[in-house]
Amino acid sequence: MKVGRFPFAANSRATILGHHEGFVKVVSDERYGEILGVHIIGPEGFELIAEAVAAMEAEATVDTMVHNHPRPSHAFRRRWVRRVNAVYGLSINA
């Protein structure tokens, strides 16, 4: 398994809302990158649940998830490349 974590503190929308505490953690299959689970901790995390469930039901991989913004769900969507990098142990800003 590979695990990537993205803090709400690095999310522009969280800054606008004044809620920096929390994170999204993605657990994926090491070989194929399929999303196996998502932990969502923090304010307005409920907005991300449907996206995570849809991704897992579709057997999405960490490489196939790209979405627009701005919304609190931006932490799980638009900056997907950063979370993919985190899953692979690379710099979050690579």
Closest CA to 83 of 12, 17, 33: 33
Report the alpha-carbon distance of residue 51 to residue 74 in Å, rounded: 11
Instruction: Specify burial of residue 53 (Cβ count, 10 A radius: 0-12, 13-18, 19+).
Output: exposed
Which residues belong to the active site? Answer: 69
